């Protein structure tokens, strides 16, 4: 085959690949394909209930809540009329499904009405249980309980009517002589306001998004609706201003930051790689032949990962910028190897270099393919991205350089032997060995810190704004929010009963709590109340007699006895679940956050002041809304899983080297990347740098990369040659690529980039001063 035919065939293959890849990428809906949701980094089928709860919370009211602080032209709180208009504008927009001024008592009134209407279903069972407990403590017998209960209720009513608080309940006392509603109000005292309402306090608006704040539908449309409402209100109230916070603000800022870093990291990475490469190349313009290999590799990686996965996290493409420094390896080695003789055919050269190229590529790809078995979608996606990119890089390099008339790139002479005197090299080798041995003593000092906040994008300004606004809404640091969950509300309520008893035991009964658990009975309490009204049919008569004996007019409590008789005759255990559903449907505004019914989990929210530092036992099915330890423990499990995958992956990589080069030489080759890894981790130990999942992932990636250099160096050592310039260029360009990642403001990307960059530099030093020359003596 003539060169022209070979060139035409090569260009045709590459053009077809580019065209197909470009067509695939152009047809994608990137708003649906690319995700910035941090929860997409975690398995959707995670078996841990706590993480399932977090996923549910991210899509439900808790995360969809937004908080607004409204001010007027003079910076003072805006008027209630302005707040009402602003809330009405938000509520009319499809981006929001609720919005109301915090001075509006509609949500509390709705809860009060529903509880009053369902007082025998919700309030009577708990009242009965508490009175039974008092009766038993007093040493009474079960036979006398109904009569004791009637007189106890009458005495409590007489005492209550003598207090000033009774004036607010005069209208409902005839229907509620058991004081079920006043007791509820006392329990919720100061808890349902959710924000200060005194004169001169800030003007606040609470709103709930219609979509998840982590999706685009919960971000840009919501921000546009807020701006539209602000402009509309400002037309009537000049100087009107809005400050607000919500999960969607953090998510939008995170997405923008990641997209910005995706652009500049990839651009800077390519520039850094090319600058390093051009520093080694005699004719800079010929170095541009390396660029198509890199671009084709990145194209193949993008196409592969978007083809395999329905949704891909944007961090994959940020971390994937490392592929620039890796993909160029095969181009370096193939393009910079001189022919054996002037007449050597290109394909003969490829066959001669096939063993190190295939050994390097396939063992690395095999290691990354093992990441497909990881529990974390992020790691699986990274495995596909990098693995496919490396295969595309090798194929692209082989095909592209077949189209180049002179597929040999001359380099500048940078031999280590020429830079350093021969006598100095042994001393430097000993110094390097001493430093490496010293670093090993840092390994026992290593600590692991798995913190899910490492996935966040730091934003000090947004956090300060969020803390300020939430503080105005009464979000106090000394108050802890607990979430008690179950597969349904009845199971969640049973777990809540255990949790409340645990709180009382740990705090000695001094802790103040607020939540719907105080008004929603357990299924057992509800059934016990039904049995009481049926078995103790004489209780209404006993209560009438006690009321008359206490000086009350029996006829004045007709509404109560009528409702009681209806409950005794028509009440069923099945009413419990339907009543809970009706209660939740009536809850709007902040009160609606106290309970949730749905799949896969339902839950109750409890607010506790001066909560214990202890984590609730697992059987309580309760987590703190700020309980990072639980999520970090889950994240730690992923790290341990990744560790085992990395160990198995390294075993596969090592086995490939042993099969290709034999056990003894394979050990010598594989010792270079492993030694670099141990040295870098030892350095981290001495520096007190806590490690996480992404340091581990970086170490695995670093070993896979640096073993390439060891293989290429071994091939030269067999021929009695020094370290190839292509290895030096490859290592330095990889270090430059990952060094750029180390500049990232995203903690996990910084961890990955710094780990690999240090490993590559360490491996290059090991190769330079112990470049496997001993292998050359054997061949």
Q: Give Cα 73 distance to the centre of its chain.
A: 40
Q: Which residues of the chain, if any, have pLDDT below 70?
A: 1, 36-62, 104-107, 141-143, 189-200, 318-326, 413-425, 450-458, 475-479, 508-511, 625-642, 719-722, 770-779
Q: What are the angstrom distances between the C-alpha of 155 and each of 184, 212, 336, 549?
A: 19, 51, 99, 10
Structure tokens given for 676: 């670099």
Give residue 517's pLDDT.
75
Query: Encoding tokens for residue 422?
Result: 């021969």
Give the CA angle between residues 193, 195, 196 to the nearest 5°: 100
Region class of 662: left (phi > 0), else alpha (psi between -120 and 50), else beta = left
Half-sphere exposure of 437 (CA within 13 A, CB side): 6
Q: Quick one: pLDDT at residue 684?
A: 92
Per-residue DSSP letter, 613: S
Q: Which residues contact 205 (CB under 8 A, 6 or more apart)?
A: 67, 68, 70, 83, 86, 87, 90, 99, 100, 101, 102
The whole-number pLDDT of residue 476 equals: 56
Distance CA 417, CA 414 (A): 9
Query: pLDDT, tens digit, for every residue of 132-157?
Result: 888 888 777 666 888 899 999 999 99
Structural contact between residues 61 and 596, judged by C-beta atoms closer than 8 angstroms: yes
CA 38 to CA 213: how far, in whole Å? 12
The pLDDT assigned to 42 comes to 62
Continuous segment of H or E residues that includes residue 346: helix 346-369
Q: Give me the pLDDT at residue 118, please.
A: 86
pLDDT at 45: 55
Closest alpha carbon to 205 in 108, 286, 86: 86
Helices 49-59 + 628-661 axis angle, to 10? 110
Residues paired with 242 in a beta bridge? 70
* Angstrom distance (rounded) from CA 654 to CA 672: 12
Tell how far CA 121 is from the center of its chain: 40
- Using DSSP's 3-state secondary structure scheme, residue 607 falls into strand
pTM: 0.65
pLDDT of residue 59: 45
């Amino acid at each position: 085959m003539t060169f022209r035919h070979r060139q035409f065939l090569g260009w045709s293959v590459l053009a077809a690949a580019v065209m197909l890849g470009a067509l695939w990428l152009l047809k994608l809906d990137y708003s649906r394909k690319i995700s910035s949701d941090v929860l997409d980094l975690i398995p959707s089928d995670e078996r841990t209930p706590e993480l399932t709860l977090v996923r549910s919370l991210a899509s439900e009211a808790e995360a969809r809540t937004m908080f607004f602080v409204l001010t007027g032209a003079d910076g003072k709180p805006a008027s209630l009329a302005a707040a009402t208009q602003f809330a009405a504008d938000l509520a009319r927009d499809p981006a929001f499904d609720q919005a109301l001024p915090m001075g509006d008592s509609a949500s509390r009134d709705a809860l009060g009405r529903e509880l009053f209407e369902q007082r025998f279903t919700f309030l009577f069972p708990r009242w009965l249980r508490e009175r039974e407990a008092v009766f038993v403590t007093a040493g009474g017998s079960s036979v006398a309980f109904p009569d004791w209960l009637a007189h106890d209720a009458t005495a409590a009513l007489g005492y209550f009517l003598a207090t000033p608080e009774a004036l607010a309940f005069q209208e409902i006392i005839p229907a509620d002589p058991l004081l079920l509603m006043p007791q509820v109000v006392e329990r919720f005292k100061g808890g349902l306001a959710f924000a200060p309402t005194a004169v001169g306090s800030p003007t606040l608006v609470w709103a709930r998004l219609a979509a998840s704040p982590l999706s685009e539908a919960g971000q840009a449309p919501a921000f546009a609706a807020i701006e539209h409402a602000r402009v509309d209100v400002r037309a009537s109230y000049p100087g009107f201003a809005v400050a607000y916070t919500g999960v969607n603000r953090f998510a939008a800022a995170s997405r923008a930051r990641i997209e910005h870093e995706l652009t500049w990291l990839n651009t800077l990475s390519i520039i850094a790689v090319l600058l390093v490469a051009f520093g080694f190349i005699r004719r800079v313009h010929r170095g541009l032949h390396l660029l198509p290999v890199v671009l084709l590799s990145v194209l193949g990686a993008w196409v592969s990962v978007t083809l395999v996965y329905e949704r891909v996290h944007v961090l994959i493409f940020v971390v994937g910028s490392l592929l620039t420094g890796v993909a160029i390896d095969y181009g370096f080695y193939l393009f910079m190897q001189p022919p054996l003789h002037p007449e050597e055919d290109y394909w003969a050269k490829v066959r001669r270099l096939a063993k190190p190229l295939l050994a390097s590529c396939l063992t690395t790809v095999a290691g990354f393919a093992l990441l497909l078995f990881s529990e974390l979608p992020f790691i699986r996606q990274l495995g596909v991205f990098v693995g496919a990119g490396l295969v595309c890089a090798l194929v692209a390099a082989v095909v592209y350089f077949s189209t180049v008339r002179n597929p040999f790139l001359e380099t500048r002479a940078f031999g280590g032997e020429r830079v350093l005197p021969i006598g100095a090299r042994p001393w430097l080798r000993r110094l390097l060995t001493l430093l490496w041995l010293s670093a090993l003593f840092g390994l026992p000092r290593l600590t692991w810190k798995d913190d899910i906040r490492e996935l966040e994008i730091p934003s000090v300004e947004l956090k300060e704004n969020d803390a300020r606004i939430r503080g105005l809404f009464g979000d106090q640091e000394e108050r802890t929010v607990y979430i008690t969950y179950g597969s349904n509300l009845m199971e969640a309520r049973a777990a809540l009963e255990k949790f409340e008893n645990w709180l009382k035991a740990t705090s000695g009964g001094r802790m103040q709590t607020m939540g719907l658990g105080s008004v929603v009975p357990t299924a057992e309490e509800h059934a016990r109340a039904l049995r009481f009204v049926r078995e103790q049919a004489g209780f209404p008569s006993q209560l009438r007699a006690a009321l008359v004996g206490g000086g009350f007019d029996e006829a004045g409590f007709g509404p109560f006895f009528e409702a009681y008789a209806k409950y005794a005759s028509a009440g069923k255990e099945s009413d419990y679940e339907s009543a809970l559903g009706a209660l939740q449907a009536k809850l709007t505004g902040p009160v609606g956050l106290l309970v949730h019914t749905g799949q896969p989990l339902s839950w109750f929210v409890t607010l506790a002041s001066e909560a214990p530092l202890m984590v609730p036992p697992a059987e309580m099915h309760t987590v703190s809304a700020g309980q990072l330890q639980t999520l970090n423990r889950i994240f730690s499990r992923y790290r341990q899983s990744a560790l085992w995958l990395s160990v198995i992956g390294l075993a596969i990589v090592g086995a490939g080297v042993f099969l290709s080069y034999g056990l003894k030489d394979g050990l010598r080759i594989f010792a270079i990347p492993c030694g670099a890894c141990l040295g870098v981790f030892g350095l981290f130990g001495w520096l007190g740098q806590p490690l996480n999942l992404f340091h581990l992932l970086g170490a695995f990636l670093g070993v896979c990369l640096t073993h390439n250099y060891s293989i290429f160096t071994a091939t030269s050592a067999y021929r009695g040659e020094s370290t190839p310039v292509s290895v030096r260029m490859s290592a330095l360009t990889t270090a430059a690529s990952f060094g750029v990642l180390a500049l990232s403001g995203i903690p996990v990307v910084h961890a990955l980039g710094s780990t690999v960059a240090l490993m590559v530099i360490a491996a290059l030093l090991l190769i330079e001063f112990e470049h496997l020359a001993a292998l050359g003596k054997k061949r």
